[in-house]
Amino acid sequence: MGITSRLFRIVKANFQRSRGKTEADPISFDIPFPSGSQAKSEPKRDPVLAKYYANLEIPYGSDLPAVKTAWKKLMRKYHPDLHGTDSKRREMAETLTQGLNLAYKELEKHLKSQ
């Protein structure tokens, strides 16, 4: 996957999230949930953390080792040094890696405080 397609996917995910739609959310079939003790409640999602998880392309609520693995994988793929010959691609890679670093730092801080 190229840098431009990655940027497109991030913008698309943020746009869909702002409209209340995400690709990662399960499909709703309007099936009533059981009442009483059998009903399961989903934990509340923090939209900021959800964005960070989406930037790292991992499911919401992943643990710290999964966050670190995803961050390393994406950094190996999009590091600016790999795109040094084309200045436009290098700028895009720098923007992506800054976002990845921010997502990793914030998720690491959140997961260590739990």
Domains of the chain, by residue range, sit at 46-114
Q: Which residues contact 61 (CB under 8 A, 6 or more apart)?
A: 43, 53
Give tens-digit pLDDT for 22-58: 444 443 334 444 555 444 555 688 999 999 999 999 9
Q: For residue 33, what pLDDT is reported?
A: 46
Q: For residue 17, what pLDDT is reported?
A: 58
CATH of 46-114, one of 1.10.287, 1.10.10, 3.30.70, 2.60.40: 1.10.287
Model confidence pTM above 0.75 = no
Question: Following CA atoms 108, 20, 7, 63 in sequence, which dihedral angle do they give, to the nearest 10 degrees?
Answer: 20
Q: For residue 18, what pLDDT is reported?
A: 58
